[in-house]
Structure 1
């Protein structure tokens, strides 16, 4: 069997299984079959892992995952540059997990980068798809960047539907059609999932947790056991939900063609996980589904082996986490199962020092290079989350230590750091709404709800609090998180200043599009090109779930004040990005230019330093099906950026924000042209008409400048 990982130049061999697979009587139809033919239940799914820049040969690392029925056969994958018939690499599948009903196989890819962007193909011979989703296309392809290029990035979040949403009315995951069209014009090298890649909330409505949520008394719900039977039922629910969703087109085709990088959020577990009251979050059912969801998050979204067993109340050895996670294996859970035992952490992980309070595992934040000049860090903001904390202080120390080491080792090559958070951090405040929901004035309403069911839709089914309160508590701008938020922002600005690296933040969760910015206040006169406090927060959500009602988006726009960070140097506000309604379809009030309640995703493309413009040679055509035209990026005098004064922040802060919106060169989602070389072109692609299953979008663009010293 092939080695599992290479880390710090050392190869770590695979370990022995917990127990060998065996047949046993299944839950309904007798002995589980072990097929000699490889029958695929889900996949292929392709992930990006990391690129090794610390060697003479710069190598891209990724993986492909398939889920099969148990088999005596051993699948293998062939891959190579497109069109190269003899230059093929064969990789044996590494079995990550198998039980009597399913098996997960990972194929590790190692690709030496060449001077130019390259199309690679892969194929898994000898397999039979059990659904029609992938049967038409046995060969797959993906792009890797040139050795001196930065990656082209697609960012999305909230890729699923909340319970009770009319999925037909919203045309299913239609925007993935637009993602694939954009990918065809100029390929994406990586697809970043900002959380809620799947919605598992139905487990409490039509799944095995329904009897639990039907219990009327919160005290009885807290005391309800999570035994092995409930764990098994939840395990089956989460697995089947992943298979269904990850096999749904056109999302399935994107999964096979654009390498993924993901962090999770609450809906990957269950709505509001981590943000309910502490005494309720510590109940057995929440801890149990925390473990089950982590298992399938590890397998489907990270292509890594899960824990050997998870929490149940009838196996005392699983009920208290050890230093590395669930303390001991439960023999009932490992019976008839194989669980691959990793010998080293993934090199792209930043592993927390201790398990989370409600998930019996350590957090796994991410670091990797997205090509030559872009570094990426995704913070796992769910494993350690409580109502009053997003992450442990020591986790931030680990993250910033890793960032400093990696940026230093890059010897000045890294110009941008993209930080992924599950929720926005530069966003309008709703403290007044928090105050209402937690006010003593709500006590009589809560009592009437408990006794007579009055205002039932206002209260959640878990801890009996206001249903929106967990969403508000999720936000960095919530009062519980203010100090943690300020400290994170100040640390990012210090990192930016020390290493002259521009920090850009990605955030999702809120089901609308917006563009927040932090920047130096009016006491500082430097323009944003030279301002290490300038950090854009690209807010892109949701790619699939329905947007909030127009009044909610309009209310948020009215709350778009200029906020002053307590550091005394930093202000923040949203950019007026949405200069017109998408495709003429009215989504928000005419005076709302900063929050867009329509489904969306984002594209990020570097403007290369050597790009020239309309009167000279261009950087070359796109590698997809059509060339990218050279735009005129000149700025009109009357639209010049506004660099100071009391209204700083309400106007463009730099040249890249001038004419932001549909008329900006970056709006098309594919352009790498612009006046700010070394900057990042950003396009938020907004759905025009949710009744159109083709998922057509309108683009809104701006450019984020690289950070340059004042004297340059």
Structure 2
């Protein structure tokens, strides 16, 4: 057996020292090494303690196979445990962060692991749920995934109506029936927006003169106050049940989004985003994002205006502020996780490089997490060279996998196949708004319509975040086309995850029906699973119905169409959430379960050989394949428990929807469908050079000229 830690121990000794923990344990998945000779699982456990603690120790042992088997249970019972000493990542006079690094061998069967941290004590005397356990797949399994986003509350939410993170109870119920191997956080794992309402930015936000607000310094005193706020808010939220329990039992993968910093970060006007306060909180938020969400040491210093050497504090390589390091320890010279795809240059408003992710999620699934916040401006989502780094890594990994990878899951902070709202953008940014803005500035008229930062219409930052916003359309088109080329070259199906919009939907790209390509052979068929929010309140049903009416058939290019799929065949638990005719958007709290499909493809195309293939429809408002034709509450995947198999292929997807926000048990209703594996049939056309560039370097993302796109079609 291979472990990361010290020598094996058959027995767990009594704690020799008390560990005063303020937050944790938090469990993360890091990556897998999958080779013909060995398969290793890498992860970590984080705890936050009071300062001055002796080095904590974690004890880990196999608890047995997930599926009962007398022989395997006997083997597991005879397995020795291992003791793992913590590494201190960061410590200052008020707290310390400790990481336990785990490296586990994969077995021929799915295994449950158990761990305990002796001496653990919460300051409030709260119960320590020890031991904790988690599950890793077998050598031949792909992982069972849970996907969530928007795990917190916007400022002003009526907390008497939306009772806490209740839907996590359903997550834990499903996990108890069929364990998740990982939970994927699509951004906004925490909401830090309160920093401007009842936190240290309250006075700054109240400055009426926008020029004075932009010029306000971010000195070390303000930085320290913001640092205290972010830390306390993380400890509060990550210690809230039942989210807290899930954190210790299901390994996490996370990317961040605006609320992990502050609402709208990156999408306000450039001259305002450049202001010292926004750049400063970007650095502080990055510090705690590194620690809590990725279990890595932060930069030595973050941005301040009274220590110029910190203004380019890229991963601690610039000059450090001695005031920030007073009585403080920061782990240095640590090797980068092999899951990182680190950007080449700092973001425009955060003085750090983007951290994108590549991971192997078991035998046949690869994963890419795109950091779409660090480099974001109103005019771009990511730098062109970041896309090049991502696709170069993908090519290397898939080539090294020797055909094992059959599915690529791509995580984005916001949906990419979603209804257009260009008409609303045009209204909110048109000259007709100018007189209302003037009345707001002079007399406070329509105060709720305008944000407190740059004076623009409050909804505009959300619209500008969307890939379908007019300034992101070119970047979006080329990104999707590069994913199509990747799918075609390797016969790998691509599925996209996106959150942010506080409702559930299933978007998809697919070949124009005139091309006569079935989904099973269509490299352009890419589903966008939109799951949001697991905790935040949904939009009013009128908004969801409006989006459903805007669900046109769009043309990405001459070969690719896109639209939302009819998915919600009824109201969850019979409780009305939207109009009865609205089958495409669900305004209720939700999360997604994703499992490798159980039916094996024969030579890549079972449906075709069994005569079960659907005829190619006239348009995308109809089901495109059998997995869509049976979508809804009656689909076998809807309960979220559809089993993982050792077979190739597509995915079963469930979206679990909250029935009643007043129900503290988080009762949920499931909807399911299937995504087929890709069996791409190569043709002579593939040998010809592309007539269009797939590199974002070939275009100017800031160009005001845009390619002409075909006019959207309405449904037939």
Of residues 653, 676, 680, the one that matches 1:705 is 676
- On the 8 A contact 1:325/1:355 being kept in 2, the answer is no
TM-score, length of structure 1 as denominator length: 0.89
Of residues 28, 49, 53, the one that matches 1:68 is 49
Query: Which digits, 9 at most, give the CA deviation of each residue in 1:535-579, with x for residues without a partner?
Result: 0000000000000001100000000000001x3110000000001
Aligned-residue offset at 1:320 = 3.1
Query: Which digits, 9 at most, give the CA deviation of each residue in 1:301-348, with x for residues without a partner?
Result: 0000000000001101112355x5662100000010000013321100
Matched, 1:102 2:83: no
Aligned to 1:641: 614
Of residues 85, 90, 102, the one that matches 2:83 is 90
Matched, 1:367 2:340: no
Aligned-residue offset at 1:53 = 1.1
In structure 1, C-alpha distance between the alignment counterparts of 2:128 and 2:561, rounded to whole Å: 53
Aligned to 1:303: 295
In structure 2, C-alpha distance between the alignment counterparts of 1:707 and 1:367, rounded to whole Å: 21
RMSD (Å), alpha carbons: 2.2
Aligned to 2:62: 81
Aligned to 2:247: 255
Of residues 40, 56, 59, the one that matches 2:21 is 40
Aligned to 2:592: 602
Of residues 193, 198, 208, the one that matches 1:201 is 193
- On the 8 A contact 1:160/1:198 being kept in 2, the answer is yes
Of residues 491, 499, 524, the one that matches 1:500 is 491
Of residues 431, 444, 447, the one that matches 2:435 is 444
Aligned to 1:617: none
Aligned to 2:13: none
In structure 1, C-alpha distance between the alignment counterparts of 2:30 and 2:624, rounded to whole Å: 35
In structure 1, C-alpha distance between the alignment counterparts of 2:138 and 2:299, rounded to whole Å: 37
Matched, 1:56 2:15: no
Aligned to 1:277: 269
- On the 8 A contact 2:41/2:103 being kept in 1, the answer is yes
Aligned-residue offset at 1:218 = 1.1
Matched, 1:691 2:683: no
Of residues 289, 310, 320, the one that matches 1:318 is 310
Aligned-residue offset at 1:55 = 6.2
Aligned-residue offset at 1:38 = 1.7
Q: Output aligned runs, 1:141-152, within 5 Å.
A: 141-152=133-144
- On the 8 A contact 1:325/1:360 being kept in 2, the answer is no
- On the 8 A contact 1:514/1:596 being kept in 2, the answer is yes
Of residues 170, 186, 190, the one that matches 2:162 is 170
- On the 8 A contact 2:150/2:190 being kept in 1, the answer is yes
What is the DSSP-based 3-state SS (H/G/I as helix, E as strand, rest coil) of the residue aligned with 2:30? strand
Aligned to 2:543: 552
- On the 8 A contact 1:326/1:361 being kept in 2, the answer is no
Q: Output aligned runs, 1:388-427, within 5 Å.
A: 388-427=379-418
- On the 8 A contact 1:355/1:362 being kept in 2, the answer is yes
Aligned to 2:652: 681
Matched, 1:116 2:109: yes
- On the 8 A contact 1:326/1:360 being kept in 2, the answer is no
Aligned-residue offset at 1:168 = 3.2
Aligned-residue offset at 1:522 = 2.3
Residue 72 to residue 249, structure 1, CA distance change in 2 (3 Å): closer
Aligned to 1:590: 580
Matched, 1:653 2:643: no
Matched, 1:125 2:114: no
- On the 8 A contact 1:51/1:58 being kept in 2, the answer is yes
Query: Which digits, 9 at most, give the CA deviation of each residue in 1:504-541, with x for residues without a partner?
Result: 00000000000000000023111101000000000000
Q: Output aligned runs, 1:495-534, within 5 Å.
A: 495-534=486-525
Aligned to 1:433: 424
Aligned-residue offset at 1:113 = 0.2
Residue 242 to residue 673, structure 1, CA distance change in 2 (3 Å): closer
Aligned-residue offset at 1:169 = 1.7
In structure 1, C-alpha distance between the alignment counterparts of 2:224 and 2:368, rounded to whole Å: 34
In structure 1, C-alpha distance between the alignment counterparts of 2:152 and 2:644, rounded to whole Å: 33
Aligned to 2:461: 470
Of residues 329, 345, 350, the one that matches 1:354 is 345
- On the 8 A contact 2:601/2:649 being kept in 1, the answer is no
What is the DSSP-based 3-state SS (H/G/I as helix, E as strand, rest coil) of the residue aligned with 1:91? strand
- On the 8 A contact 2:141/2:644 being kept in 1, the answer is no
In structure 2, C-alpha distance between the alignment counterparts of 1:268 and 1:409, rounded to whole Å: 35
Query: Which digits, 9 at most, give the CA deviation of each residue in 1:213-259, with x for residues without a partner?
Result: 01111111100011101000000000000000000000000000000
- On the 8 A contact 1:642/1:651 being kept in 2, the answer is no
What is the DSSP-based 3-state SS (H/G/I as helix, E as strand, rest coil) of the residue aligned with 2:657? strand
In structure 2, C-alpha distance between the alignment counterparts of 1:138 and 1:4, rounded to whole Å: 21
In structure 1, C-alpha distance between the alignment counterparts of 2:585 and 2:362, rounded to whole Å: 31
Aligned to 1:328: 319
Aligned to 1:387: 378
- On the 8 A contact 2:344/2:385 being kept in 1, the answer is yes
In structure 2, C-alpha distance between the alignment counterparts of 1:203 and 1:483, rounded to whole Å: 35
In structure 2, C-alpha distance between the alignment counterparts of 1:59 and 1:4, rounded to whole Å: 11
- On the 8 A contact 1:4/1:342 being kept in 2, the answer is no
Residue 158 to residue 132, structure 1, CA distance change in 2 (3 Å): farther
In structure 2, C-alpha distance between the alignment counterparts of 1:372 and 1:489, rounded to whole Å: 25
Structure 1, gaps ≥5 residues long: 6-34, 613-632
Aligned-residue offset at 1:663 = 1.0
Aligned to 2:9: none
Matched, 1:223 2:223: no
In structure 2, C-alpha distance between the alignment counterparts of 1:372 and 1:328, rounded to whole Å: 43
Of residues 615, 633, 643, the one that matches 1:662 is 633
Residue 273 to residue 120, structure 1, CA distance change in 2 (3 Å): same
